A and B are shown apart, each in its own frame.
Chain A
Amino acid sequence: DGGITQSPKYLFRKEGQNVTLSCEQNLNHDAMYWYRQDPGQGLRLIYYSQIVNDFQKGDIAEGYSVSREKKESFPLTVTSAQKNPTAFYLCASRVQSPLGGYTFGSGTRLTVV
């Protein structure tokens, strides 16, 4: 079955460390997205990519970086510059047309210890 795989499901980071969250999809979707979810704040867009080798900042890109070297993969790096990284991170994809809506991964919960 096609879908989006996020790994790991839980991740613990020490302050000052960079960590990378994995997102892989086999849906042949062109566009991929990273969202951050905090209680009571809904979903906030970090980065998005509409085609390979191209990506754009979302609303809260500071302290994060991404790459899109393959259509199937869109990893997110949470850098030490992100001052409050503890959150639930969701990866999503869709065809370029908005008509289909998003397909989401099951998320990665990042905790700074």
Chain B
Amino acid sequence: AQSVTQLDSQVPVFEEAPVELRCNYSSSVSVYLFWYVQYPNQGLQLLLKYLSGSTLVKGINGFEAEFNKSQTSFHLRKPSVHISDTAEYFCAVSAMNSGGYQKVTFGIGTKLQVIP
């Protein structure tokens, strides 16, 4: 079975400060990793993904994430946040299950609140 842990349910940060949203996963097989963003009363939008290759992945809106296999982590970072980054962020892991299906598991989300 696979699981995703987002360690912080809420992260307040001042505008123009850096931010890191933490994500750890567990899986007995190789995984693909994703970060999604959700604005209020909307669906989720893909921010970035790790499939293979370089462990540093760059996404939209200036976000990046680093895959660390030894620590089973995929933390999301932005060097300088803007008010418009206020949203909920979801980490997700995709891995093949015993039935040959790529199962996706989402974390419970981290609410990023940017303070002016």
Whole-angstrom distance between the alpha carbons of A104 and B41 in the complex?
Answer: 12
B44 with A99: CB separation less than 8 A = no
Q: Does A22 contact B (CB under 8 A)?
A: no
Q: Which of the segments B11-19, B74-82, B105-113 contacts the partner chain?
A: B105-113
What is A's interface to B at a CB cutoff of 8 Å?
4, 6, 35, 40-43, 45, 50, 56, 88, 90, 92, 98-99, 101-107, 109
B42, B45, B51: the one within 8 Å of A99 (CB):
B51
**Shortest beta-carbon distance, B38 to chain A, in Å?**
8
Whole-angstrom distance between the alpha carbons of A43 and B104 in the complex?
Answer: 10
What's the interface size class on B, roughly?
A: 20 to 34
B107 with A99: CB separation less than 8 A = no
A42 with B32: CB separation less than 8 A = no
Q: Considering the complex, give the chain B residue whose CB is closest to the CB of A38.
A: B108
CB neighbours (8 Å) of A4 from chain B are 43
B41, B45, B46, B108: the one within 8 Å of A41 (CB):
B108
Name the residue in A4, A41, A104, A105 with the highest tally of chain B Cβ atoms < 10 Å from its Cβ: A104
B9 with A101: CB separation less than 8 A = no
B46 with A107: CB separation less than 8 A = no
B44, B90, B94: the one within 8 Å of A98 (CB):
B94
Whole-angstrom distance between the alpha carbons of A88 and B46 in the complex?
Answer: 19
A90-B43 in contact given A42-B106, A43-B106 (Cβ < 8 Å): yes
Q: Considering the complex, give the chain A residue whose CB is closest to the CB of B6.
A: A42
**Shortest beta-carbon distance, A26 to chain B, in Å?**
16
CB neighbours (8 Å) of A50 from chain B are 101
B32 with A40: CB separation less than 8 A = no
Whole-angstrom distance between the alpha carbons of A74 and B22 in the complex?
Answer: 34
The 29 listed contacts between A and B (C-beta, < 8 Å) are A6-B43, A35-B106, A40-B9, A41-B108, A42-B90, A42-B106, A42-B107, A43-B44, A56-B101, A88-B41, A90-B43, A92-B44, A98-B32, A98-B94, A98-B104, A99-B49, A101-B34, A101-B46, A101-B49, A102-B36, A102-B44, A102-B104, A103-B46, A104-B36, A104-B43, A104-B44, A106-B41, A106-B42, A107-B41
